[in-house]
């Protein structure tokens, strides 16, 4: 048995998967550029996905900021630094 056969088989499998992904991408893009275009549906989906997710993003940002402030305060207080004044600069 040739010792390079498994390497060649893995490489050919990689090329086959890459080819399938390329064909999928080309087909998807070509279907996006052909009529009929549904601009109203596209705008509605953009609003649903983008604008209506802002409260979730805001809440996530709020809690991440609070966790960062708490961790910063506890870290600075261990170092005997002025934690209250330094948190605003870090956060």
Residue 81: band (very low, low, confident or very high) from pLDDT cuts 50, 70, 90:
low
Residue 69 near residue 91, CB atoms below 8 Å:
yes
% pLDDT > 90, the chain:
66
Predicted TM-score (pTM) of the model is 0.52
Sign of CA dihedral 71, 77, 83, 89: negative
For the segment 41-51, what is each residue's pLDDT rounded down to a tens digit?
999 999 999 99
Residue 21 pLDDT > 70, yes or no? yes
Please give the full DSSP string across the chain, using - where no structure is assigned: --TTHHHHHHHHHHHHHHHHHHHHHHHHHHHHTSSPP-HHHHHHHHHHHTGGGHHHHHHHHHHHHHHHHHHHHHHHHHTT--HHHHHHHH-
């Amino acid at each position: 048995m040739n010792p390079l056969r498994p390497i060649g088989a893995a490489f050919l499998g990689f090329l086959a998967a890459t080819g399938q992904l390329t064909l999928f991408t080309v087909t998807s893009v070509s279907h996006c550029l052909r009529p009929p275009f549904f601009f109203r549906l596209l705008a509605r989906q953009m609003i649903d996905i983008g604008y209506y997710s802002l409260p979730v993003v805001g809440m996530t940002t709020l809690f991440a900021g609070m966790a960062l402030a708490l961790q910063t305060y506890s870290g600075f207080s261990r170092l005997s630094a002025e934690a209250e004044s330094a948190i605003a600069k870090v956060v």
